[in-house]
Each structure stands twice: as C-alpha cells, then as structure tokens.
C-alpha cells in the first residue's frame, strides 16, 4: 500500500473512530438524558373510573378547590385503592403529584392545610399515599387517601399523577374534568 | 538537519500535550453551575425559578423577635441581610443554596443561625406561580462586603444547573447600622425589618 493511501485510510478511520469513541464513552449519560429516555408509560383515566394499577384497583373520588389567599387555592384530592395484590403495593413508594394545564408540577403539602381541617375534618384524617396506608390493608379492602396541594388561583385542567416505583413502571394519571 | 527537525517536532508535541494536560478542566469545572447574571432590584430568571433581591442591609447586630422573646445575634464582622422574593416556575422546590462570593474569591455560605426566622430562603417551599418573600443573612468580615456577589441556586450538587449571580452594584448600603431587628408579621411579608 502506498504511503499516500495509508495516510488517507488512517484519516478516514480517525473520522469514524473519534465520534464512535465519544458515543461509547458518553453512552450511559446519553441514555439517561431526557430527550433520549423513553417516557414512563402513562395510564390516563377519566375521573371516577376505576383502574388497575400497582397491585390495586384505584379510583379518584373527588378533587375540591378550597380558598387560601387571593392568588392561591388549596386542591384537596381524595382517592382510593383496593389492594388486589398487597405484597406488590407494600414494595413500592407512592409518589403523588398534581400537574396543571401549563405543565407545572405541584408536590403535596406535608402538613394539612387549616382550611381542610376546618371544612372537611374527616378527609383531613385520611392517610396520605404511602406504604403506611397499605400496611394493614387486606385483599379487596378499600383504602381511602387524601393529599392537598397549594396551587395558583389560575391553575386549570388539573391532572393527578400517581407513581409507584418498585411496584409499577407505569404512571397512573387521573384527569379531572369537573370544575 | 532531518534529525534536528524531528527533535524539534517532538519537543513541540510534548510541549503542546503538556499545555493541554494542564489546561484540561476538572469534572467540577465542566459540570459547574451556569451563571445567570443580574442586579439588585430586578427579577432574574432561570429555567426553573426566578429570584429578585430588593433591599440590602448591613448591621453589626441582629435582633430577632419571636413570640415575645428577643434573641441577639452578634458578630465580629458584619451581618449582610437581603430581602427579596422567589418563585418556582416548573415544579415545587426549595432553594437550598445561597452563597456570598466576596471580591477576593472567598465564598461564604448563608448563615445557619437564622433557620427559624420566617421567610428564611432554605426553609421556604416554593410552589410554581406563587411568589414568596424571602430573607437571606450572611455573616461576613467587613472587607468581604465590597465587590461581592450573591449566588443563588436550587442546589449545590446539581451538575450544570443554573445559578443566579447578583451583583450589588450601586445598591450597596453605604452605612453599617448598629442593629437590625427582625420580627414576625401577621400580614404581607412574614417578617418586618427595622434598622436602629
């Protein structure tokens, strides 16, 4: 092989090898990046409809909008789950979030809002979604839960998203179409 | 002649490699927060949150009134107190990192002595679309105040996250007050601040 030919062959190999080396080195990071990661499968359910999810039968009971300040409201979400496979439910950690029409994600508040305790004391007593709520649950027994969120007064088209990593790879999304 | 040329090329290659090796940024530099610059009195935006520093105070002593009791916080340097507002834009969050970068490059963390003061930045949970008044306090040597910059980020350990860099500019308070009193407030901002 002539010297010239070797030079060009090496140059071409370099052009292929360098990007390949970059991809191999960065593969883990690329796989974890948002734009390449396949989103978690979503099960979208209309309000009031029961849905099998993470070893239970889930249902959104009510989503109430309560006053807080001029620009903020409390959203009180009530939902229930009837464990069909308690062993699966007790494996995971429940994560509940509220998403509005603008895509803003709200975490539930840790302390019960005073307005919830005043207007719906029985709902305020309900457990939050978590392993503890299902600790004593038996097959088919209904576990009623409640979470409250603080949202801007203009938050509309609310979705309640429930994730149960460990028990399910999917995300349960309840659409709330009532006012 | 040819041997000399080869030697020169080798020396040049070694020098270039040495320079490249020494100028390669470390992992910390590559993943350092992305600075977003702003000034006191303006709303500075990142993708996830916005923050604005409104008032800046300097004091020798801070008094905190809470439930009828007054607690004195003295210092051998000065207290730099910043009143501002913060809002989350995409999701519920807490801004856990606030530093003061002095003109000489030293970084001072937010004082941990005021964690019970209402509205203190790292204790305030921010909901998207709902601005909250926030308070920051730094305990600094007097020399560290001049030409300093306030750095605010969601967390110190998030690689390539955005970090606000707010220069005091001409809003820097000219005089150091002997004492500043912070008290709880029932309406409006969760605190009142009075310089004496």
- Which chain B residues have any C-beta within 8 angstroms of a chain A C-beta? 89-92, 127-130
Same domain, A107 and A143: yes
Same domain, A67 and A83: yes
pLDDT score at A174: 93
Q: What is the count of structural domains for chain A?
A: 2
Interface contact A155, partner B, CB < 8 A: yes
Nearest to A167 by CA among A77, A73, A7, A52: A52
Same domain, A121 and A140: yes
pLDDT score at B66: 81
pLDDT score at B158: 82
pLDDT tier for residue B172 given thresholds of 50, 70 and 90: low
For residues A134 and A94, the answer to whether their CB atoms sit within 8 Å is no
pLDDT tier for residue A37 given thresholds of 50, 70 and 90: low
Domains along the sequence of chain B with CATH: 33-195 (2.60.40.1240)
Alpha helix ranges (H) inside chain A: 3-32, 86-89, 114-119, 121-124
pLDDT tier for residue B170 given thresholds of 50, 70 and 90: low
- A-chain residues near B128 (CB < 8 A): 104-106, 152
State ipTM. 0.83
Return d(Cα B52, Cα B137) in angstroms, integer.
15
pLDDT tier for residue B159 given thresholds of 50, 70 and 90: confident
Q: Could A155 and B129 be called an inter-chain contact, meaning their C-beta atoms sit closer than 8 Å?
A: yes
- B-chain residues near A71 (CB < 8 A): 130
How close is the nearest chain A Cα to the Cα of B189, in Å?
Answer: 13
pLDDT tier for residue B194 given thresholds of 50, 70 and 90: confident
pLDDT score at A84: 86
Same domain, A30 and A92: no
Same domain, A26 and A71: no
**Residue A99: pLDDT above 70?**
yes
pLDDT score at B171: 60
Instruction: Write out pLDDT tens, residues B89-98.
Output: 999 999 999 9
- B-chain residues near A102 (CB < 8 A): 129
Q: Could B90 and A105 be called an inter-chain contact, meaning their C-beta atoms sit closer than 8 Å?
A: yes
pLDDT tier for residue A34 given thresholds of 50, 70 and 90: low
Same domain, A33 and A46: no
Token pair for B192:
């009142």
Token pair for B147:
């030409």
pLDDT score at A106: 97
Rounded to 5°, the CA angle B83-B119-B107 comes to 60
Same domain, A144 and A62: yes
**Residue A179: pLDDT above 70?**
no
Token pair for B174:
């000219």
Domain encompassing residue A72: 42-175
**Residue B185: pLDDT above 90?**
no
Same domain, A94 and A26: no
Same domain, A144 and A117: yes
Same domain, A171 and A106: yes
Question: Which letter does DSSP use for residue B120 in this model?
Answer: B
**Residue A165: pLDDT above 90?**
no
Interface contact A125, partner B, CB < 8 A: no
Same domain, A63 and A78: yes
Instruction: Write out pLDDT tens, residues B103-155.
Output: 889 999 999 998 788 899 999 999 999 999 999 999 999 989 888 999 999 99
pLDDT score at B31: 86
**CATH number of the domain bearing residue A135:** 2.60.40.1240
Using CA coordinates, name the residue in chain B closest to A149: B127
Return the minimum-mean-pLDDT range out of A73-77, A91-95, B72-76, B87-91: A91-95
């Amino acid at each position: 092989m002539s010297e010239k030919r070797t030079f060009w062959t090496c140059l071409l190999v370099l052009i292929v090898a360098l990007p390949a080396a970059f991809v191999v080195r960065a593969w883990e990071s690329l796989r974890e990046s948002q734009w390449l990661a396949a989103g978690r499968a979503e099960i979208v359910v209309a309000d009031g409809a029961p849905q099998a999810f993470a070893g239970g039968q889930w249902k959104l009971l009510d989503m109430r909008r309560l006053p807080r300040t001029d620009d903020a409201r409390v959203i009180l979400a009530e939902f229930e789950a009837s464990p069909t496979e308690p062993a699966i439910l007790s494996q995971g950690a429940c994560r509940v979030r509220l998403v509005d029409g603008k895509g803003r994600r709200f975490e539930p508040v840790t302390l019960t809002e005073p307005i919830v305790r005043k207007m719906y004391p029985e709902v305020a007593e309900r457990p939050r979604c978590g392993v503890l709520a299902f600790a004593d649950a038996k097959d088919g027994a209904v576990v009623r839960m409640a979470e409250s969120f603080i949202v801007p007064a203009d938050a509309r088209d609310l979705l309640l998203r429930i994730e149960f990593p460990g028990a399910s790879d999917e995300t349960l999304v309840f659409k709330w179409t009532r006012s | 002649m040819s041997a000399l040329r080869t030697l020169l090329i080798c020396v040049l290659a070694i020098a270039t490699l040495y320079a490249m090796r020494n100028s390669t940024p470390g992992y910390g530099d590559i993943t350092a927060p992305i600075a977003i610059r702003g000034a006191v009195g303006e709303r500075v935006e990142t993708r996830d949150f916005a923050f604005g520093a409104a008032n800046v105070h300097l004091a020798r002593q801070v008094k905190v009134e809470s439930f009828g009791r007054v607690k004195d916080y003295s210092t051998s340097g000065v207290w730099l107190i910043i009143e501002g507002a913060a809002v989350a834009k995409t999701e519920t969050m807490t801004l856990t990192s606030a530093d003061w970068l002095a003109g000489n490059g030293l970084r001072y963390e937010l004082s941990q002595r005021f964690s019970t003061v209402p509205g203190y930045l790292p204790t305030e949970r921010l909901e998207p679309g709902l601005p909250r008044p926030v308070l920051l306090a730094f305990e600094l040597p007097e020399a560290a105040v001049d030409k300093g910059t306030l750095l605010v980020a969601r967390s110190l350990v998030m690689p390539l996250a955005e970090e606000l860099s707010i220069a005091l500019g001409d809003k820097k308070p000219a005089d150091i007050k002997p004492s500043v009193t912070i008290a709880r407030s029932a309406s409006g901002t969760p605190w009142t601040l009075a310089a004496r």
